[in-house]
Amino acid sequence: MSDKLYEEKVIKYQGARHYLIKMEGEEHFKHHRYDAPAIVPLKKDSPWKKSYYLGGIEYTEETFKEIMSEREGLPWYKQSGPKTNRF
């Protein structure tokens, strides 16, 4: 059994950077990015526009920011560690 819960991938396609994620047990990648747009155009003539996705669902910028501001707790990369005495 695999220890991976998900797999991330960043690709460049048609003048834009696409952030993708595939959850364990799923067959296809979906657009997903917690901290910024999941599609970022790199050129002005790119057919893609800046888009916000969570788990493959597209959100407007305002809705995305509202969802992110309502989250509680620490992000996974800011785990609280044990307190140590510093001298």
Domain borders along the chain are 6-69
pLDDT for res 1: 45
Mean pLDDT rounded to a whole number for the chain: 84
Instruction: Give me the long-range contacts of 16-20 (CB less than 8 A, separation at least 24).
Output: 16/40, 16/41, 16/42, 16/43, 16/46, 16/48, 17/42
Mean pLDDT confidence for 60-80: 79
Phi and psi at 20, nearest 5°, equal -125, 155
Provide the 3-class DSSP secondary structure of residue 23: strand
Provide the 3-class DSSP secondary structure of residue 63: helix
Does the pLDDT value for residue 4 go beyond 80?
Answer: no
pLDDT for res 75: 62
Instruction: Give me the long-range contacts of 54-57 (CB less than 8 A, separation at least 24).
Output: 55/21, 55/30, 56/30, 56/31, 56/32
